[in-house]
């Protein structure tokens, strides 16, 4: 069955249409209807099926074809009813069960869908399309290894099945089997050279492998074949952003929205990318959030139900956290303490997880909480229903506009109190009551730009110390005989402005070196481009050390080769700053008034008493770096103090947030509107 839908009004049968007098006439009419359906003439095919059924109401094939047509025009309930009727009449048609499985999948009834496909395969085991469709449903369920088997079965039966190769590539990518995924996409393209989806998906996996130029070429090929697919422009924007080409990335995201203004993922990507754009300030950022809120959230207002939660201010509170990052991820380092170290006498914690590839961190979270619910394959309405069934009192968004967010679920307001602000800046959702922030991150005069009320804390995120963390080593400069500056931030934050500042600094400190480390630097082209950018700024290649992705332990241990960390500008580091400090390597940062993302590092350093490491101008940034590079004794002493300082201060994060939760709850129990909260 095709997945493309054309929505239209169903035509009512005409009682005056000519009757059919014989079995031969019926079968001839059925073949005519099938031919019309295959030609895309759905209305004409439907009319003939209705004519058949007036003369032979129990004609299973006509009922089935009518059900297929209903499915194709988006009338899934009608389709389910008609195909089920056909099966009751003739339960030995594998095609009927295949069609039913596809409709049930579309309705989100995934378990029933699998049952239908399995019944089809009992009747006809070597039906490639059933294996393929079953693979689609298994993938949506998150049963990825079973999905791989299903797609491979389809390919075994029908070796030239481009869709099976394409979807196999998708699942292999999700399983982290990237090279096999690339091979699958190439095979799909070999079979069907103008397969735009396969080029788009190939671009995605090449992007994940760090082969950015190749990914961009794949996206351009997809656009050449199918120029009006907004997804491709959005994915292209992600690759450009990873390369640090922020202006081009923003333009690509905007192009996706020109094609489809309702493309929610592209709009979120645009909002996220604006953090990195030099010429886009806080006011413009918030205007874009308002547009997103008006388009996607406000229309849900009429679907909000009342909250029957017990308004007892003293009882245990049920907290729900929603994220796709309950795994080894920088965002999890910021919110992880809330899940691992919560006060179990005061709170029950539930996690709503969009994680595809679970890991050791996922297991730690699962073991710590009262309830765990996978959101994979679940619609927003299903997620909302689960949250309400769990009687969540305070629902917390941990994603903002980052990948895998479920902000639409928050639009239905399934919990009486909703909170955001950890993981990414507040998304601007009117149904979210509060956002966690600090007085440095959000200034009082900026509050007019936000819809979520502020909760002022000491830190805007916590720090989940890794289970395996290297010891803090001695100052590397003593052993190496030269100072090593370093930056281990995501490379998309490394702007030309950052490189310009760092080049100026290296010129000021003889023999000093610059170490840059990021997973994106596994890409040879990006390495070469980075060396050239620095060379053009007067820095020779022998003063630059480039490192790619590694395990977390090796990543952290890299700080034992760095004397002073250099924060990126204009968008600074969050979890990366805390990692550096925890490894004893202080961070020079440059703050800016124009928006919150430019104050991440200063909002982290100031509560730790490290204001002298925060610069207000580019010249001051260089001067601070030079000062510490020339005072190695003081730097060595500070190195041994930082870990204890970070862990002591960030340990206050969870108690502060839980005090805020209790205050939010008390206000709701009293029937008060949400308003600013100050936690000392």
pLDDT in tens, 203-245: 999 998 888 899 999 999 999 999 999 999 999 999 999 888 8
Residue 158 zone, left/alpha/beta (φ > 0; ψ -120 to 50; rest): beta
* Average pLDDT of the residues of the chain: 91
* C-beta of residue 594 within 8 angstroms of C-beta of residue 282: yes
**Which residue from 327, 325, 349 is spatially nearest to 338, judged by alpha carbons?**
349
Output the pLDDT for position 174. 86
Flag residues of the chain having pLDDT under 50: 1-22
- Residues sharing a CB contact under 8 Å with residue 520, sequence separation 6 or more, in sequence order: 210, 212, 242, 490, 491, 492, 526, 548
Could you give all domains of the chain from N- to C-terminal order, each with its CATH number?
23-237 (1.25.40.10), 305-458+655-678 (3.40.50.11380), 476-650 (3.40.50.2000)
pTM: 0.84
Sign of CA dihedral 175, 176, 179, 182: positive
171 neighbors 148 (Cβ within 8 angstroms)? yes
Per-residue confidence (pLDDT) for residue 23, from 0 to 100: 57
Identify the CA nearest to 664 among candidates 677, 654, 648, 655.
677
Strand partners, 320: 350, 395
d(CA 573, CA 603): 10
404 to 7, 264, 392: CA distances (angstroms): 28, 12, 21
Cβ–Cβ contacts within 10 Å for residue 564, how many? 26
- Contacts of 65 by beta carbon, 8 Å cutoff, 6+ apart: 30, 33, 34, 37, 45, 49
């Amino acid at each position: 069955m095709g997945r493309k839908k054309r929505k239209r009004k169903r035509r009512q049968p005409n009682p005056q249409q000519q009757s059919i007098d014989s079995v031969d006439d019926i079968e001839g009419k059925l073949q005519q209807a099938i031919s019309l359906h295959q030609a895309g003439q759905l209305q004409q095919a439907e009319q003939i099926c209705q004519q058949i059924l007036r003369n032979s109401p129990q004609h299973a094939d006509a009922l089935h074809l009518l059900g297929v047509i209903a499915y194709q025009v988006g009338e899934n309930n009608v389709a389910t009813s008609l195909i089920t009727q056909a099966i009751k009449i003739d339960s030995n048609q594998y095609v009927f069960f295949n069609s039913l499985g596809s409709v049930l999948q579309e309705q989100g009834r995934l378990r029933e869908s699998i049952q239908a496909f399995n019944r089809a395969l009992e009747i006809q085991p070597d039906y490639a399309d059933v294996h393929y469709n079953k693979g689609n449903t298994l993938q949506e369920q998150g049963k990825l290894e079973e999905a791989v088997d299903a797609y491979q079965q389809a390919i075994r039966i029908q070796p030239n099945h481009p869709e099976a190769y394409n979807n196999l590539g998708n699942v292999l990518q999700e399983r982290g089997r990237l090279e096999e995924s690339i091979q699958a996409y190439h095979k799909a393209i070999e079979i069907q050279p103008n397969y735009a989806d396969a080029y788009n998906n190939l671009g995605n996996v090449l992007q994940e492998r760090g082969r950015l130029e190749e990914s961009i070429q794949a996206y351009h090929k997809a656009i050449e074949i199918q120029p009006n697919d907004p997804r491709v422009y959005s994915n292209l924007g992600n690759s450009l952003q990873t390369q640090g080409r922020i202006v081009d990335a923003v333009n690509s995201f905007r192009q996706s929205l020109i094609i489809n203004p309702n493309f929610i993922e592209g709009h979120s990507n645009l909002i996220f990318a604006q953090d990195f754009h030099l010429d886009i300030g806080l006011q413009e950022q918030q205007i874009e959030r308002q547009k997103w809120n008006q388009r996607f959230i406000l229309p849900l207002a009429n679907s909000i139900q009342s909250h029957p939660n017990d308004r007892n201010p003293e009882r245990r509170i049920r907290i729900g956290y929603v994220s796709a990052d309950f795994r080894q991820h920088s965002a999890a380092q910021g919110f992880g303490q809330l899940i691992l170290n919560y006060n179990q006498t005061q709170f029950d914690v539930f996690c709503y997880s969009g994680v595809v590839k679970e890991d050791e961190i996922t297991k730690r979270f699962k073991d710590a909480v009262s309830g765990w619910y996978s959101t994979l394959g679940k619609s927003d309405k299903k997620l909302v229903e689960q949250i309400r069934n769990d009687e969540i009192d305070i629902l917390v968004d941990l994603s903002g506009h980052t990948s895998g967010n479920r902000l639409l679920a928050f639009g239905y307001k399934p919990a009486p109190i909703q909170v955001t602000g950890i993981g990414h800046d507040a998304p601007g959702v009117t149904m979210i009551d509060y956002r966690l922030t600090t007085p440095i991150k959000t200034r009082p005069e900026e509050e007019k730009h936000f819809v979520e009320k502020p909760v002022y804390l000491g830190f805007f995120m916590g720090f989940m110390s890794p289970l395996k963390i290297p010891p803090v080593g001695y100052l590397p400069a003593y052993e190496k005989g030269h100072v090593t500056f370093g930056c281990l931030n995501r490379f998309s934050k490394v702007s030309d402005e950052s490189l310009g500042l760092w080049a100026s600094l290296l010129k000021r400190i003889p023999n000093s070196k610059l170490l840059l480390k990021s997973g994106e630097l596994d890409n040879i082209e990006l390495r070469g481009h980075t060396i050239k950018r620095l060379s053009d700024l007067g820095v020779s290649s022998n003063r630059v050390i480039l490192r790619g992705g590694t395990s977390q332990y090796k990543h952290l241990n890299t700080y034992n080769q760095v004397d002073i960390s250099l924060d990126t500008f204009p968008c600074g580091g969050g979890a990366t700053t805390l990692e550096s400090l925890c490894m004893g390597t202080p961070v020079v940062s440059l703050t800016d008034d124009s928006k919150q993302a430019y104050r991440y590092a200063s909002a982290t350093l100031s509560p730790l008493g490290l204001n002298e490491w925060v610069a207000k101008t580019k010249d001051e940034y260089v001067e601070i770096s030079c000062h510490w590079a020339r005072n190695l004794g003081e730097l060595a002493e500070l190195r041994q103090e930082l870990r204890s300082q970070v862990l002591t201060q960030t340990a206050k994060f969870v108690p502060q947030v839980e005090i805020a939760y209790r205050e939010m709850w008390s206000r709701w129990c009293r029937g008060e509107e949400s308003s600013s909260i100050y936690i000392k």
